[in-house]
Amino acid sequence: MIGTEHGARSELGIPRNTSQKKSTKSCRRVFVVEDDPQQALRLEDLIADLGHRIIATATSVDAAFATLNDLRDGGIVPDVAVVDADLAGEAPQRIIVALDARGVPVVIASLPESPAYAMRECCSRVKKPLTHEGLRCAFAEIGKRPMLGGTRLAPFRSTSGTKRKKAT
């Protein structure tokens, strides 16, 4: 169980207590994928300070898929996801692609030299160390990017190990 000022969270990162700051029209439901507990807490604080609501956190790609499916089963889809570019040595491309395909904008939090930092043109980026201004700019950039129009309530499936056959 992770305890923060934002309420207690289960191991999956789903909030048990949803009492948050007063929601506003610009308040976004944010999903965080970060493996470092200190960075995750810092990120959650920065996001809450900007007036957005954390709906869940995950510490790995597999945990992110499981958490997103739990949220989807409850009828909740994030408005935006903030994903660390290096999840304990695991590349986040699978979760970024899955989020992007469902029209969930992604902010990649990373050092500039990280391979995932430049992975997708559709993603906004924020450099570490994280700051209010960096996140504010990344969230503002999201509004300027076109939505892909994916099926937002489709199941989130990992694409590792599966190859699609070309239609002939």
DSSP 5: T
For residue 110, the surrounding DSSP H or E stretch is strand 106-110
Residues 52-69: tens digit of each pLDDT: 999 999 999 999 999 999
Sequence spans of domains, the chain? 2-16+25-141
Topology of the domain comprising 2-16+25-141:
Rossmann fold (3.40.50)
| CA atoms lying within 13 Å on the CB side of residue 91 | 11
Please report the pLDDT score of residue 97 as a whole number. 86
Residue 57, judged by CB atoms within 10 A of its CB (0-12, 13-18, 19+), counts as: buried
Residues 107-138: tens digit of each pLDDT: 999 876 665 544 556 678 888 889 999 999 99
Is the model's pTM score more than 0.85? no
